[in-house]
Structure 1
Amino acid sequence: MRRTGRRTGQLTSAALFPGTAVRYHHRDGADLATVTEVGEDIVAFVGANCDGRFTHDQIDRLIEAGRLEIVLGASDATA
C-alpha cells in the first residue's frame, strides 16, 4: 500500500547541539560520540575512539551518506 500526502524532512547539521549523541561511521568502524561544539562554521564531536571537527556542509554530506547518525536515548555517548 502506497502512502500519499506524507512529507518527510531531511536531517541536517542544524539538528545538532552540544550534548547530542551521534554514531560516526569511519574507515576503521563506527563509534558513538557526543557533539561538543556547534559554531557558525564548524561542528565538533568526541567519542572514546573517535573525534571529528567538520564544517556544516561536511556534516550534511556525512548525514546524507549515512556516515553520521543521531542516536536517540543515549545518555552519554563518550562512556
Structure 2
Amino acid sequence: MSQLREAGRLYGPDGVLLAMVRLLEHRDGSDRWEIRLNDPAPSATRTAVHPDEASARAELDRLYAEGGRDGEWTIRRLDSE
C-alpha cells in the first residue's frame, strides 16, 4: 500500500496544465518511495521507485527545478502519520 505525500501541478504562462507529479511512500515496511510523473500532463504515467525518502525528494526537487523553467508549480504537501 502506498500513501500520497506530495502532489505538484505545473501550469504554463497561459494557465494550461503541463505536467503532474506525485510522491508516494510505500507503507509495506520497505522504506521505498515512488514518484509518478505525467509529462506532458495527458500522457501515460511514468513511475520511478527510490530506495529512500532522501533520493526520492532529490529527484522531485530536480523535476520541480526543470519544470520551473516552463511555468509555475502548485505543490500540495500532506502530513505524514
- Scaled by the length of structure 2, what TM-score is found? 0.34
Q: More strand by proportion, 1 or 2?
A: 2
Give the greater-gyration-radius structure (CA).
Answer: 1
